Structure 1
Amino acid sequence: ELEGRLEITRRWVPEDEEWQAATRLVANRKYQCALDNIKRLVVSWIFELSKMNQSGTGYKLRKHIGKALQTHLVAIRAAVTQYNTAAKALGRRTLEFDELCRAEEEVIRLNVEIRRVITYLVDEDRYLRACEALYQDANPTLAYQISRYHTIRSQFTPLHLCSLEKISRLSGFSGTLALGISVSRGLGDSAGIPQRVCMDTVFSSLLVAADDREDNANEDADEDHATTLEEQCKALQNILSVTMDP
């Protein structure tokens, strides 16, 4: 009766083009629904994970969130299975649950590394500038060499910062370009505090080390070694001086 009202005179069969088009439409609908379901579950899992890392979260609440995360993982596994069934019907790429987990871990790790890179670039630039200023009056020759080293090290810094800025504008970027705080603050570290070192003291310490070794080896050989080391120290000082000549 309904077919009569709709003026349908012939029913579709699997060989009909209309039947095949409707089949593809239904398959695409199932695929899209399965994909949307995975996205929804993954986003929900990420939100639950972020709650666990919030300050002020007590032990009991963390334990409760941990159980909720496990429940979410079970649901995600089932959603992946449903998605794979729909994807195979369309000849599309299937997913593995471990791939989703590893991808999420990779995003978290990259967010950390991006912040580390930008922090190191800024800290190193600040450190080398401070070192150059520290020796500008006391040892202009050394300050000039530090300046040249700084120029070499910072040659590609603008390119790196530009690349990081482009990454931050990508859809789905969840990291930050805010500077971090380096935990490595020893002498010579990029986040350390420059300290003035007397070059004469450095050269003298090298000679003292050579004299100490002289007592434990052949006197003639060690004497030649100490003489050679002294000549090398003087040559190094001469090289630094020559670089400042006009």
Structure 2
Amino acid sequence: ERFFSKSNDLAKCVRYASRFHRQQDITQFIKHHDSFETYANLSKFLCNNYEQALDILRTESTLREWMRKEGIESGDVFKEWLKEEKEWLLQKKGSSGREVTLEMQYVQKLVNWSVCKYVSFLASVEMMMLTGFRTKLNTIRREIRQAKAADDNYDPATDLKRRRALQHASESLTQALGLVQDLEDRLDIDPNNRWTSTSVEWIAAVKQLREKKFSDALDALELLIVERIFELTKINRSQNRHIAKALQTRSEAVKNAISRYNIAAASLEPPAPQLSWDEVVEYAFLADFDFLRATDGELLDKPWTRPAYRLAMDRYFKIIRAKEEIKRLNVEIRRFVTWMSDEDRFLRRQEEEAESPGEAALIRKHRMERGRFDAGHMERLVKLSKKRGFTGYIMPG
């Protein structure tokens, strides 16, 4: 990934080049990169990894102290938590979001129908108050015209607007009722025994609706966070000012998504954990969102779902990987030192045994190109060997 990131600048040179010159430029770029960048930074790569591993190992005493206070006897507890987490994630693997059931649709349509009835009622009352006509709406047109004529405040334009609103409200009411009746046929529900807010079926469907809204809000928040993480990885690259502006806009969207999530979380029984901006931006694993998506209280009571315990578990496994990294680097550093020594001796011997001065000059040039970085490599390795915690060897062997 780092190599292809560097090679992006090469595109400007080869965009309009011929096929031959394009391949030539790419080959020269790769050869130069291998000789003057990859090899030159090889010891720096090893030393940086070693120092990072040492920094992680220095936190082991802090972790041990925290484990003692929390009553955790050994690291086997973290391994057991990791196993439980893996089993839970495997159960959730491949499962899609909550689907909208017919019962959920029925409750929603009943609510919509109630709203339409209320809107239709308001439109009818407003129409009758405007015209000054207090009797039923099915009165004959002659009586309506008489009432309009007797009303000095009558405005034809306003009257038309109110009649249109009443007509639309009536049509919406009819349409909403039709949707309710359709679902009643599909669910085999008696129209005389429609669900109400006190029905057991209504309460169960409302709970499912709230969980569906909660799941949708969490999915939207997760998507925004993933996009934000990807943009953060690009923010320091050149010619990417538009990403910084997009990231600022995305941050506002994340804050709005957090607000919608907290509203949906508060409506659950029991309520789901509330989130803040500081907590969400620190999420580094998508599994953190999977834990939030679980609305059952049994999972939320697990220690490995709590932020402090998850941080300790991550630190424990980082320490284990750091020890493995130190062991591997001790081998690689000695191999690297041995390889530099062997290559120098080999090239010097080949230079001495060359059959012609021209061949010897080419070998000498190659040896000098390779050896120009060896002194820097050894300087870095000697400096690393003096650090506390270094357990390797910088002698050939």
Q: TM-score, normalised by structure 2?
A: 0.29
TM-score normalised to structure 1 length? 0.45
